[in-house]
Structure 1
Amino acid sequence: MRLPRDLSGSDLAQALQKLGYSITRQTGSHLRLTTQEHGQHHLTIPQHNPLRIGTLSAILGDVAAHFKTSREEVVQRLFE
């Protein structure tokens, strides 16, 4: 599945709530998200609109590595 090209950082933070992430703090234009599922994991997401495709890909790759799944499966769970 192709990555969304018009996704903002806030939209991504909302989508990641499906996987158990919640916003724990905000510093400037960056959000810090944390999940306790499959162990503790932290993410930092810039609140840019839109996110650069490389930044989005790296964040989704990090999530996939934490959940021990493929990036494509994470994209399907978040955006379908």
Structure 2
Amino acid sequence: MTNKRLLPVSAKDMIKVFSKIGYQIERQRGSHVVMSKGEEILIIPNHNPVSKGTERELIKDAGLTVEEFNNLLKKH
């Protein structure tokens, strides 16, 4: 059975997951953390929890599926 359900997640946890796949924190401006991996950039709102729509878009932009993201989240 696949787990495609989006789990509620904080910005801190999203940053940990994206760090595992090679993204690095570049800077923080206000309530947004900018992470990059080469030319790819993710802007993560520093909220707890991150809204579901934003979470889904960031996961997609990072090249992950919801299932892959959830597996990485459980391993931290």
Identify whether the pair has TM-score above 0.5, normalized to the shorter chain: yes
Which has more helix, going by share of residues? 1
**Pair 1:54 & 2:48 matched:** no
Report the TM-score, using the length of structure 1 for normalisation.
0.77
Counterpart in the other structure of 2:72 = 78
Structure 1: unaligned runs, 5 residues or longer: 65-69
State the identity as a percent. Answer: 34
- After TM superposition, the structure 1 = structure 2 runs for residues 1-80 of structure 1, keeping only pairs within 5 Å, are 1=3, 2-5=5-8, 7-36=9-38, 40-64=39-63, 71-72=65-66, 74-80=68-74
CA RMSD of aligned residues (A): 1.6
Q: How many residues align?
A: 71
Inter-partner Cα distance in structure 2 for 1:9 and 1:72: 16
Structure 2: unaligned runs, 5 residues or longer: none
Runs of 4+ in 1 over 6 A off after TM superposition: none
Inter-partner Cα distance in structure 2 for 1:72 and 1:10: 17
Letter of the structure 1 residue corresponding to residue 21 of structure 2? L
Report deviation, 1:4. 1.2
Report the TM-score, using the length of structure 2 for normalisation.
0.80
Does the 8 A contact of 2:13 with 2:73 survive in 1?
Answer: no
Secondary structure in structure 2 of the residue aligned to 1:48: coil
Inter-partner Cα distance in structure 2 for 1:34 and 1:20: 8
Report deviation, 1:71. 1.5
